[in-house]
Amino acid sequence: MGRDMIGPSDPGPDPGRRGRLAPAVSPDSADAGVGQDLRPARLSEPEGEGDDMRKGHREHAEKDRRHAEGTEIVASAIHMGDVMSAEASAHSQLKRKRRRTILPRELRIRIHEDFLELRKQGLSYNKIIKEIKRRYNVTIRKSTLSGWKNRKHSPYNGIRIPTLEFLKPSEDLAYIAGAIVGDGTVYKMSISAPRYDKFFVGLTVKDKEFAEEFGRRLAKVLGREPPIPRQNKYSLWVVEVQSRTLYELLKKPIDIERIRPYVEHCERCIAMFLRGFFDSEGYAHKDGEIGVVNTNYKMLEYVIYLLKKIGIETTSEKPILHHRAGRPFRDPKKTDKVYRARKDAYYVSVRMKSNLTFYEKVGFTIERKRKRLEEYLKRRGLLPNNSLTT
């Protein structure tokens, strides 16, 4: 059908609508069919301007994309930071928990001693671990036991006797206690930075053999090298070691009940305590008198009790007053300067008939005291001329 011809179904111009013209139909709209949008077409953009706008849109879209990606990265980083922080917190809590489960040194030492005993019995590591678990409800790693066996590490950490619980009675310890009780020094030194305390026990005497004997016995008790005696400005011999355990045992005023288990462990321990005490505070005169002077009345009562326990009689049942507080005296250990006694002092004397028993069971370490007693016993015919101190 031609574009300019009217089809048979077209009724043609309506006579009743004379004067009203039908809208003009664009030649391009004829092929568009029914429903063609007859709105005016958008004006075309000037050449080049559309490209610039599209480029701008693309740039804005790219910026939006990068911003979105950056936001995601930041969010991801925050999330990762939270995760890492949570992991670090969990790790820190685990470390604190592990620190809390570290066994006390005393328990580790007890387990160590049991381990050594069980190894002597021929038990394997696995059996020892089970036995320790049964005894203490503690699981010890095999690597720990191996380190103990090969001496790569030790629960003692350089402290052979960490508490009084691990301090075993011995003749050496009894001698140390007697010497310290007599005229020893026990003190604590506080260090301000870093804050900690040092604990010392020692002896200051004029007889070198006494200082050396004291040092040898200290070495045996503490498991260390013997301390070397040194001379101070008064030409006195000083022996001193650090030991919190001995400090706790022998700190003054002396607690007799605290030292009693170590002193009265056996007859030899009693004798060595008395020897240390008489070496420190005792005397032996040429006329055969043996005695001791001290300001601690209770301690002298205890000494009388110990002497009787090993068959040595004293001249009195109770300590006797030697001098009152305020009495002037010269200190032979330091200078000839005159001092005044701050406390009352008391003495205990051994009966002459017990001198030989004292010599055989207790004796003196200090040579000058020992020789006086030996000479007296020889004069009385109670000791052969070639006799030696026990």
Spacing of C-alpha 121 from chain mean position: 32
Residue 58: per-residue pLDDT: 73
Question: Using one digit for the tens of pLDDT, what is the confidence trace for 330-370?
Answer: 766 556 678 888 899 999 999 999 999 999 999 999 999 99
Residue 271 lies in a domain: yes
Residue 296 is predicted with a pLDDT of 94
One DSSP character per residue, 56-118 reads HHHHHHHHHHHHHHHHHHHHHHHHHHHHHHHHHHHHHHHHHHHHHTPPPHHHHHHHHHHHHHH
Q: How far is CA 358 from the centre of its chain?
A: 44
Boundary residue ending a domain (255, 284, 306): 255
In three-state secondary structure terms, 179 is helix
Position 189 scores a pLDDT of 86
CA distance linking residue 34 with residue 10, whole number of Å: 15
Same domain, 184 and 278: no
pLDDT at 55: 65
Whether 30 is in a domain gets the answer no
Residues 291-312: pLDDT tens digits?
A: 999 999 999 999 999 999 999 9
Q: Which of 31-45, 138-152, 343-357, 373-387 has the lowest mean pLDDT?
A: 31-45
The pTM (predicted TM-score) of the whole model is 0.61
Confidence of residue 28 (pLDDT cuts 50, 70, 90): very low
What integer pLDDT is reported at residue 202 of this predicted model?
Answer: 94
Last residue of some domain: 232, 255, 278?
255
Q: State the pLDDT confidence band at 57, using cuts at 50, 70 and 90.
A: low
For residues 263 and 370, membership in a common domain is answered with yes
Model pLDDT, residue 366: 95
What SS3 class is residue 300?
helix
Cβ atoms 282, 324 nearer than 8 A: no
Contacts 24+ apart (CB under 8 A), 160-166: 160/222, 160/223, 160/224, 161/221, 161/222, 161/223, 161/243, 161/245, 162/105, 162/106, 162/109, 162/245, 163/106, 163/245, 163/248, 164/245, 164/248, 164/249, 165/106, 166/106, 166/109, 166/245
Whether 249 and 262 map to the same domain: the answer is no
Answer with the one of 224, 255, 286 that is the final residue of a domain: 255
What is the band of 257 on the pLDDT scale with cuts at 50, 70, 90?
Answer: very high
CATH number at residue 352: 3.10.28.10
Query: Above 60 in pLDDT, residue 126?
Result: yes
| Whether 288 and 365 share a structural domain | yes
Residue 55 included in any domain: no
- DSSP for residue 286: T
pLDDT at residue 354 in the model: 96
Residue 10 has pLDDT above 80, yes or no: no
Residue 292 φ then ψ, to 5°: -150, 145
User: For residues 258 and 249, is the Cβ–Cβ distance under 8 A?
Assistant: yes
Euclidean distance between CA atoms 362 and 152, whole angstroms: 43
d(CA 314, CA 120): 49
Question: What is the per-residue pLDDT for 94?
Answer: 61
Structural domain contains residue 352: yes
What is the average per-residue pLDDT within 114-139?
Answer: 88
| pLDDT higher than 90, residue 376 | yes
Q: Is residue 361 part of a domain?
A: yes
Q: Which of 20-29, 64-73, 114-123, 148-157 has the lowest average pLDDT?
A: 20-29
**Other residues' Cβ atoms within 10 Å of the Cβ of residue 273:** 28
268-287 confidence digits (pLDDT tens):
999 999 999 999 999 999 99
Both 361 and 273 in one domain: the answer is yes
Whether residues 264 and 364 share a domain: the answer is yes
Same domain, 351 and 273: yes
Q: Is 164 exposed, middle or buried (0-12, 13-18, 19+ CB in 10 A)?
A: middle
Amino acid at the residue 283 = Y
Within-domain flag for 63: no
pLDDT band at 31 (very low <50, low <70, confident <90, very high): very low
The number of angstroms, rounded, from the C-alpha of 133 to the middle of its chain's C-alpha atoms is 24
Q: What is the span of the domain harbouring residue 308? A: 257-379
Q: Is the pLDDT of residue 2 over 60?
A: no
Of 327 and 3, the one with more pLDDT? 327
Mean pLDDT computed over 171-195? 86
pLDDT of residue 237: 95
The angle subtended at Cα 279 by Cα 275 and Cα 283, nearest 5°, is 110
Could you please report the per-residue DSSP string of 317-365? SS-EEEE-TT-EEE-TTS-S-EEE-SS-EEEEEE-GGGHHHHHHHT--S
Residue 212 sits in the same domain as residue 142: no
Rounded-to-integer distance, Cα 34 and Cα 205, Å: 133
Do 374 and 288 share a structural domain? yes
Q: Which of 15-19, 89-93, 336-340 has the lowest mean pLDDT?
A: 15-19
pLDDT over threshold 60, residue 77 = no
**One-character DSSP codes across 116-140:** HHHHHTT--HHHHHHHHHHHHS-PP
Whether residue 279 is found in the same domain as residue 359: yes
Collapsing DSSP states into helix, strand and coil, what is residue 160? coil
**Do 348 and 279 fall into the same domain?**
yes
Residue 40 lies in a domain: no
For the chain, the domain total comes to 3
**C-alpha to C-alpha distance for 54 and 17, rounded to whole angstroms:** 50
Condensed to tens digits (0 to 9), the pLDDT of residues 198-247 reads 889 999 999 999 999 999 999 999 888 899 999 998 899 999 998 888 99
3-state SS, 232-276, equals CCCCCEEEEEECHHHHHHHCCCCCHHHHHHHHCCCHHHHHHHHHH
Is there a domain that residue 312 lies in?
A: yes
User: Same domain for 143 and 171?
Assistant: no
